[in-house]
Structure 1
Amino acid sequence: MRMSDEWMEKYHNEIDKFAQETKEFHEHDLSRKDYKGISGGFGSYAQRDDQEHMVRLRLTGGKLDRENLEFLANLVDRYNIKRLKMSTCETIQLHDLSYDQVAPIIWEAADHGIYTKAGGGDNPRNVMVSPLSGVQEGEAFDVNPYADAVAEYTLSVCHDFKMPRKLKIAFSNGVDDSVHATFRDMGFIANPDGTFKLYICGGLGNDHKMGVLMEENLDPKEILYYVRGMIDFFCQFGNYKNRAKARTRFLQETMEPEKLKEEYFRIVDGLKAKGGLDLYKVEEKNIDKQGEGTIVSARVLPQKQKELFSVEYHPIGGVLPTEMPRKMLELLEKMPGVEIRIG
């Protein structure tokens, strides 16, 4: 993903300012609470030990191609990173960083097309996708292109609003719902006819709620209207006073289902009337690689592409050994067209 030159210029200026604020926090001129309110918007937090920090790399759908894997491996080597962790939102977190490593890493990642912007704090977070979307047997269709479009859009407008809390968006390919699309702030589930089911205002955690079904057959080209509508809906009706109640699932407690639907569709219909958010150019990735033979293993899954396979790897506790990105990169040099996904 590459953002516009105008967006990047603004982001670079923000990173420069954040670098100074991180220094002020390190020198105890900025409180932990005030710093957290700033750093979250950059996908970074101070750890329990104030001397160590975390940076979260947004990877839409957890996709880690060869180029990004090489960038990660080089980052680990150059900054002597001691701990990598994969998050439940399909991102990679760099832990135990010194304060003066934070901004340079964020800057380098942005120039490489990986953004930490809105990776934390009160923002639309990393867009999640069924890990095997595009290759899984029995799926409705590959939802990755739509997730990519939503990720690019939410990043492009994240400067324009202040939400009560975070917003998590997930896309399910219709087979694998390990991303819990029905229990997210916004969840799209692929239908065999090429449309989506849409659930909103769900969430796991305290007072968990299944999302409210909004649409049975949502036209994919209208997805961005519904996403922006969800942002505006949350900004209008979300709880700005009590952070413990400032997630979309609590709107199910303050609004009756019919009222919730009425207000949400009022906002979405207004956006549709204005226009400008239609998705027309969305292309599914074509996999034309040829394989041969069969494999039988609990960790090897046959793909929908004949004689191609996916291999599962489960690091204990989601902690990825720091030498693994380099080892994987060396392994992939012998395997053209292979991609890593974080589940």
Structure 2
Amino acid sequence: MQSFRTELENPIVEQEIIELAEKIRKYRKGEMPEEKFKSLRLARGVYGQRQAGVQMVRIKLPFGKVTFQQILKIADIADEYGSGNLHLTTRQDIQLHYVSLDRTPELWSKLAEDDITLREACGNTVRNVTASATAGIDPNEPFDVSPYAHRTFTYFLRNPICAEMGRKIKISFSSSELDTAFSYIHDFGFIPKIRIENGKEIRGFKVMLGGGLGAQPILAQTVHEFLAEEEIIPYMEATLRVFDRHGERNNRNKARFKYLVQKLGLEEVLALIEIEKKAIKNKTVVVDRHSQISTNLPTKEVSEIEPQDPLAFELWKSTNTFQQKQEGFYGVYVNVQTGDIPTEKARKLIAGVRDHIADDIRITQDQNLLFKYVRKESLVHIYEALVALGFGKPGYNSTADITTCPGTDTCNLGISNSTEMARVLENYIHEFHQDFIQEKEFKIKISGCMNSCGQHGLAHLGFHGSSVKAGTAVVPAAQVMLGGGTVGNGEGRVAERVIKVPTKRVLQVLDLLLSDFKNNQAAGQNFHAYYDQQGKDYFYKLLKPLADLSNLTADEYLDWGHEETFATAIGVGECAGVLIDLVATLLYEAEEKLDLADLAIGKGQYADAIYHAYSAFVWTAKALLLDKGLSVSTQAAVLAEFDQHFIAEDLFTLPTSFSERVLQINKYEPSKEFAETYLLQSKAFCLEAAERREELKAVVQ
């Protein structure tokens, strides 16, 4: 591993990077268990790739905001450490591929110089906080949600309550009731609202809870029609404490928050949240409303020029631009096919537009870019620069603008090549269905497997990778999903599985559906209404001939973009992190938690210290239960089982039950006195547990 040096101003980040390098060294020497190391690197944005020996690095960009300098820095990093490509994601991140594990600390160090983090971009924690790309300039918004998204990001970054949960948590802020950040598919979804009280405007949010896509999509439920702005972060904190304690930890397929709501019922979950409110760090969190306002606006005088192709420009302008709420300025969308920007194009893009836009670019949830504060005189300049780079296609957010995950290009879980399918379908629409370039009520989304990274479950027409048996052969297939999408104000629809067809027939699926919709829809009828009118069985019958496997051609045995015979070579996915059930690893983590608690008390961070001490209690108890061959799936169950198998059998002596001792955590305010007392109790328990374990080992021997 190469040595590296960082000139970071933030000592916490500097220490984290040094620690990552040290952990990699220990892992390489066999001094750190595989599962522990995997969890650690995921929490630092380093994700296993389909190709052996290289990693995907996910760069966490809160609400998709990125500056000129940051894009240029990421491009330099992609050239030096990766494949020379920037991949924009549906969660407004940027991903780099083909990175050597040993070089990730050095890579992180260089990114941190420009205030870019990898921390908690993957793993069982709060993922990137997303928001409508138009936040701050949206003509429909009650107020700018960017400051709230940013404060949520900073509040939960490195926060012990969400450092090692059973699964990930996803949060979104929509700019208006149009719900362009898809609140209904998130663990927490927020839609801005304003109330008038005594003649004064009061800001707040409609709160959606417990949504998620994946293989089993579940729509979020409304838990607050209006929650005051200063209460939303405390509400999330209390909820995360509930999820951490009661969420599933053994079966990761059932470990998302949506399943906890399903298991306990919304009423019980809400009651548990109320109990936790007493112990949270802050009862209110005030957000600086002006913290994320764009200030670096274009200042250079620009003369308006004539477009080389006036008709093409007018079409692009009609689909890819809009007038901001700030008079005299436009927002401009950039279509980035499959979300991929080669580094050479990234540099030329910035050079071509930086005099014409604000230094505040947003990555959109559909893998495109949004430029802000563009003057009318600059529109043609920007258009010509985009055309020269291949980013000047019209049809943003239309049928011709397809969202996709990386699929089998790099993902361990990918079944099919979703990116090549997306390119083929987009190009086909531009050539043969040009009237749909302006249709924004029929969206196509593609995932390489059923896990919905391409958001196929919320598409009007969705595809996910699959396979079918044809005799002794396995044929690449696409599961066709219909009828999903955003309704508005927190309401959404999950697409229904209709039929599975060989993947090379998706163009025929597209032809049939678009032609049928175009020819039979009522005047002004959108696809949701048309789908409901016709019914699922109508579309099944329409597409059924395409599922016939008796007439397969040689080409249909091959996946898009491939010349070799198709095989469902699926690896082990890491999106949800990993489960840590090794006894030694749990005890090691408990020791780390006690050290972190000591440090937190020294800094006056009493709530953090209490939560670290709580984690040490739980990890130690779980390790002892595992020593007895007992595997439990939630932290709450750990407490109950420890009482039954250790306290009831007098293997430990406590003045109360173990559950009562540990659950003091939600009975007291996070004061210095309680933090010191609780930590002392946790240390005593962990010490006694180590002694008991040694005694048991001696008996066994």
TM-score, normalised on structure 2? 0.45
> What corresponds to 2:320 in structure 1?
299
Aligned in 2, Cα 1:4/1:151: closer, same or farther, shift over 3 Å? farther
> What corresponds to 1:201 in structure 2?
210
- The alpha carbon displacement at 1:7 in A equals 2.7
> What corresponds to 2:174 in structure 1?
172
CA contact (8 A) 1:60 1:151 kept: yes
Matches within 5 A, 1:216-231: 216-231=225-240
Aligned in 2, Cα 1:292/1:182: closer, same or farther, shift over 3 Å? farther
Aligned in 2, Cα 1:81/1:199: closer, same or farther, shift over 3 Å? same
- The alpha carbon displacement at 1:319 in A equals 1.8
CA contact (8 A) 2:183 2:190 kept: yes
Letter in 2 for 1:242: N
CA contact (8 A) 2:166 2:252 kept: yes
> What corresponds to 1:211 in structure 2?
220
Letter in 1 for 2:231: E
- The alpha carbon displacement at 1:160 in A equals 6.8
Matches within 5 A, 1:1-343: 5-20=10-25, 24=28, 35-79=37-81, 81-158=83-160, 161-193=163-195, 194-271=203-280, 275=282, 277-283=284-290, 285=293, 296-335=317-356, 337-343=358-364
Aligned in 2, Cα 1:336/1:113: closer, same or farther, shift over 3 Å? same
Structure number with larger C-alpha Rg: 2
Letter in 2 for 1:233: V
Between the aligned partners of 1:206 and 1:160, the Cα distance in structure 2 is: 24
- The alpha carbon displacement at 1:264 in A equals 1.6
Secondary structure at 1:199 match in 2: strand
Secondary structure at 1:95 match in 2: strand
Between the aligned partners of 2:229 and 2:338, the Cα distance in structure 1 is: 36
Letter in 2 for 1:103: P
CA contact (8 A) 1:184 1:202 kept: yes
The superposition leaves residues 127-175 of structure 1 with CA deviations (integer Å, 9 ceiling, x where unpaired) of 0001111111111211000111010111141587421111111111114
Secondary structure at 1:191 match in 2: strand
Moved more, 210-219 or 261-270: 261-270
Between the aligned partners of 1:42 and 1:162, the Cα distance in structure 2 is: 12
CA contact (8 A) 2:74 2:111 kept: no
CA contact (8 A) 1:300 1:312 kept: yes
Between the aligned partners of 1:10 and 1:154, the Cα distance in structure 2 is: 19
Between the aligned partners of 1:203 and 1:100, the Cα distance in structure 2 is: 34
Between the aligned partners of 1:245 and 1:4, the Cα distance in structure 2 is: 41
- The alpha carbon displacement at 1:333 in A equals 3.2
Letter in 2 for 1:167: I
CA contact (8 A) 1:202 1:210 kept: yes
Moved more, 76-85 or 240-249: 76-85
Structure 1: gaps of 5 or more residues: none
- The alpha carbon displacement at 1:244 in A equals 0.8
Letter in 2 for 1:308: F
The superposition leaves residues 216-260 of structure 1 with CA deviations (integer Å, 9 ceiling, x where unpaired) of 111111222112112211112100121110000001221122112
Letter in 1 for 2:235: Y
Between the aligned partners of 2:183 and 2:74, the Cα distance in structure 1 is: 28
Secondary structure at 1:42 match in 2: coil
CA contact (8 A) 2:18 2:105 kept: no
Between the aligned partners of 2:284 and 2:361, the Cα distance in structure 1 is: 31
Letter in 1 for 2:289: V
Secondary structure at 1:224 match in 2: helix
Between the aligned partners of 2:289 and 2:153, the Cα distance in structure 1 is: 13
Between the aligned partners of 1:269 and 1:215, the Cα distance in structure 2 is: 19
Letter in 2 for 1:309: Y
Q: Which has the higher helix share?
A: 2
Between the aligned partners of 2:93 and 2:160, the Cα distance in structure 1 is: 18
- The alpha carbon displacement at 1:315 in A equals 1.8
Between the aligned partners of 2:354 and 2:226, the Cα distance in structure 1 is: 42
Moved more, 175-184 or 40-49: 175-184
Aligned in 2, Cα 1:190/1:91: closer, same or farther, shift over 3 Å? same
Moved more, 262-271 or 142-151: 262-271
- The alpha carbon displacement at 1:215 in A equals 1.4
CA contact (8 A) 1:136 1:304 kept: yes
- The alpha carbon displacement at 1:77 in A equals 4.0
- The alpha carbon displacement at 1:211 in A equals 1.4
Q: Percent identity?
A: 26
Between the aligned partners of 1:30 and 1:314, the Cα distance in structure 2 is: 44
Between the aligned partners of 2:34 and 2:51, the Cα distance in structure 1 is: 11
- The alpha carbon displacement at 1:61 in A equals 0.4
- The alpha carbon displacement at 1:277 in A equals 4.8
Letter in 2 for 1:328: L
- The alpha carbon displacement at 1:307 in A equals 2.2
Secondary structure at 1:167 match in 2: coil
Moved more, 140-149 or 220-229: 220-229
- The alpha carbon displacement at 1:39 in A equals 1.9
Letter in 1 for 2:16: Y
TM-score, normalised on structure 1? 0.87
- The alpha carbon displacement at 1:314 in A equals 2.2
The superposition leaves residues 18-77 of structure 1 with CA deviations (integer Å, 9 ceiling, x where unpaired) of 44257x2xx999887555333211111121222221111000000112231232233234
Q: How many residues align?
A: 336
CA contact (8 A) 2:229 2:286 kept: yes
CA contact (8 A) 2:124 2:163 kept: no
